[in-house]
Amino acid sequence: MATVVIGGSRSGAGKTTLACALIAALSEFDWTAVKISRHGHRMPEPVFEETAAGQGRDTARYLSAGARRALLVTADDSELPLDELNSACGEDAHVLLESNRIIENLCPDVCLAVVGEGGDIKPSFSPLLHRADAVVARSHAALERIERPTSACAFLLEDLRTVPPEMATWLRGRLMAASAR
């Protein structure tokens, strides 16, 4: 399984928008997209599979972008339900996870850190940023707000709804190498 983690500096940074753009731009990877949230969303189980595409919930947006499957994992401040998540993903080949917290439990093949404009930076962003393979921001000012790891490349995207060819090529190469292992 090849995994991509997308985390963000704050709520509203553009994580879901970028996730949807990546799903659409790299549709050949037949994505399972996972949103990990502290909010219960009134779901009876810690792992819920979305089945209806749309523009409301983030998981519905994943399906609209072309994901084969979309999951919502909920865990307030407790431990993430990793056994349930692993079971739900099963043999899925390419999994995209939107979460800062998952970095504590997973060593992804690609880690993307989205830096939002203004606002406070979440404490959970720092560990993710240190593991980032790439930092994504909408402006130079946003990039200057953080200390980017020297090994991480930077992608400046004015519109997170569109993945530029150089970013798609970079990510495709990383995923193909991970899938070959």
Provide the pLDDT for residue 103.
94
CATH number 3.50.70.10 is the correct assignment for the domain at 2-180: no
Per-residue pLDDT reduced to its tens digit, 118-138: 889 999 999 999 999 999 999
Per residue in 80-111, pLDDT (tens digit) is 888 888 889 988 889 999 999 999 999 999 99
144 vs 137: CA distance, rounded Å: 10
Tell me, what's the pLDDT at 40? 57
Residue 27 confidence (pLDDT): 95
Instruction: Indicate the domain borders of the chain.
Output: 2-180
For the segment 44-55, what is each residue's pLDDT rounded down to a tens digit? 677 888 888 888
- Of the pLDDT bands very low, low, confident and very high (cuts 50, 70, 90), residue 39 is low
pLDDT at 1: 80
